[in-house]
Amino acid sequence: MGTQTTLVWLSRAGGRMTSHPLTLHEHTLLQRSAACPRRSTFETAAGSLILQSFCSPALVASLKAERGLHAFAHFPEREHQLLLGIAERPDCALTLAYTPGGEIVGQVTLAPADAWWQGVANTYELAIEVSTHWRRLGIARQLLSLALEFDAVEEMLLVAVGLSWHWDLKGSGLSPFRYRSLLAHILGPYHFFECLTDEPNVGLDPANILLVRIGKRVEREVMDQLFQRMRFF
């Protein structure tokens, strides 16, 4: 999965060489400065799509949100502004699926987890959305594969918080619990597993769900921090 993403520096204590894992902030800066950002094409029954990870603000500014992309901001124009704001933050990573004509039809965001997770090191929240007009075409899996295709992800704890009030229950024709199962099914192949928690938003609806991915190189101490924070693991 690309090059090893660790920084090495000279310790003041005895001149010993030590290392620490790259944060998403550091990795994002490296990706955006690379000559060839990770990009691919994907053919669907509805047309060709371009997929790109670590999207720059300039790229996002040149695109527009397709009208079926509105789960988090309700209106495509506001959704576009939300995505642009994410792209401008060096501590976030944005992966997009967009048409050759410049319409964004899907996105995966990695962003620092909110204040409830304070004290759990290197924890990021994953959010995913595919336009209502481009669903059931395999786009979600393509986006996730590209978004998680970097070595530093194995140093991170990823959380996906599924909240029923963001779900397109009417458009999908699914009940809240069926939609919940769909999210677990989509994220399962990427090593996310369900955790019980007393996180306030998750507790507001029994259909809500918390899914967690523990990177392969996350230290035991950090995992203990995670489980203590969730309490009900």
In this predicted structure, which of 25-29, 104-108, 165-169, 186-190 has the lowest mean pLDDT? Answer: 25-29
Which of residues 103 and 25 earns the better pLDDT score? 103
Give, in order, the Cα–Cα distances in Å from 194 to each of 147, 183, 199, 211.
Answer: 20, 10, 13, 4
Q: 97: pLDDT confidence band, cut at 50, 70 and 90? A: very high
Q: What is the pLDDT of residue 85?
A: 95
Tell me what pLDDT residue 191 has. Answer: 96
pLDDT of residue 142 exceeding 60, the answer is yes
pLDDT in tens, 80-92: 999 999 999 988 9
Q: For residue 223, count CB atoms less than 10 angstroms from its CB and return exposed for 0-12, middle for 13-18, buried for 19 or more.
A: middle
pLDDT at 232 over 80: no
Tokens 């990695």, residue located: 110
pTM value is: 0.82
Confidence of residue 33 (pLDDT cuts 50, 70, 90): low
CB burial of residue 127 (10 Å; 0-12, 13-18, 19+): middle
Between 173 and 20, whose confidence is greater? 173
- Domain annotation for the chain: domains and CATH numbers: 6-230 (3.40.630.30)
Across the range 48-76, mean pLDDT stands at: 90
Percent of the chain with pLDDT over 90: 56
Return the residue matching tokens 């997770």: 117
Q: Is the pLDDT of residue 144 over 90?
A: yes
